[in-house]
Amino acid sequence: MPQAQGIRIGRILGIPIYIDLSWIIIFGLITYLISNQFAQLNPQWTITQLGILGAATSLLFFGSVLFHELSHSVVAQHYKIRVLSITLFLFGGLARIGKEPSKAIQEFNIAIAGPLASAFLAGVFFLSTLVFPDSKIVAAVSTYLWQTNLALAVFNMLPGFPLDGGRIFRAIVWGTTKDFVRATRVAGASGKLIAYGMIVLGLWLAFGFRGSGRWEGIWLAVIGWFLLNAAQASVAQVTIRETLNGLRASDVMSHEVPAIPANLNLDEYSNEVLRTGRRVHM
């Protein structure tokens, strides 16, 4: 499993937290977009106020993503599955675990914890708009956050692997068929179908609309492309694991060591190595 990349910012519940360099770019973009949205709703606010509120809301948004990933991690730790790290990056967050769950019910519980956590935050921020009805600042920030957390929960419930919904779908198929490999292939196929749908819809929006709709379409297509690659990689990984299951090093080793003439010079020997790919000779 590849090592986490990015800047380490701390540790929570014993889990190292990283931010990918792409996070810095998307943080600035989201801050800009949120500030513009606040400016349209509250034109009396100064540029300084808009900038501070935009940055604060962005931090709370990524804090929500971190809370989402931590919820996965807490349940994984409950099942004695080691969580290697959590990384915030361009498309949200990623919790890296040391191994796959050993049972379908474990995967189901780990996967569903994320959407439930985001739905919980959506409820908390929505309640804050009711508790502080006279505060425009609280209303603006909380409204954005409850809507984005609700959207995050709904989006992650799509049955497209490796989204949370795709993992839930795999857990259901796995529990029904008792076949992890088959479940992964079915969930992977579902993930590819949803990814292609997102790409097509995103391109249609990008070329069929103007203004913000075009950028939203491009963003949707990029996310779809990312999911497509992730789904393909996940299925390929399981296929390789199935192929190598039960094999030993001796099964793939060559037991024959070819002999070469003693008077062969090094230049000729290097040509022989390049031609055959063999690096051991008698």
Residues 197 and 225 in one domain: yes
Give 272 or 25, the one with higher predicted confidence: 25
153 lies in the same domain as 39: yes
CA distance 100 to 86: 16
Which of the following is catalytic: 69, 107, 216, 242? 69
Residue 118 near residue 153 (C-beta atoms within 8 A): yes
Is 69 noted as a catalytic residue in this protein?
yes
Predicted structure pTM score: 0.78
111-163 pLDDT, tens digit per residue, is 999 999 999 999 999 999 999 888 889 999 999 999 999 999 999 999 888 88
Q: Are residues 30 and 85 in the same domain?
A: yes
Q: Are residues 203 and 83 in the same domain?
A: no
CA 195 to each of CA 102, 106, 148, 166: distance values in angstroms, whole numbers, following the listed order: 27, 25, 21, 12
Query: How does DSSP classify residue 157?
Result: T
- The mean per-residue pLDDT over the stretch 40-61 comes to 91
Task: Confirm if 169 and 187 have CB atoms less than 8 A apart.
Answer: yes
10 and 104 within one domain = yes
Instruction: Show the tokens assigned to 250.
Output: 């001796």
Range of the domain at 261: 257-282
Which residue in 190, 199, 255 sits closest to 225, CA to CA? Answer: 199
Is residue 241 domain-resident? yes
Pairing between β-strand 15-19 and β-strand 83-89 as defined by DSSP bridges: parallel
Q: Do 133 and 200 fall within a single domain?
A: no
Count of structural domains within the chain: 3
Of 130, 157, 184, the one marking the end of a domain is: 157
- Examine the domain organization and report whether 96 and 198 are in the same domain: no
CA–CA separation, 149 and 151 (whole Å)? 5
The number of residues in the chain equals 282
CB-CB contact of 152 with 165 (8 Å): no
Averaged pLDDT, 211-226: 77
- Residues 131, 93, single domain; the answer is yes
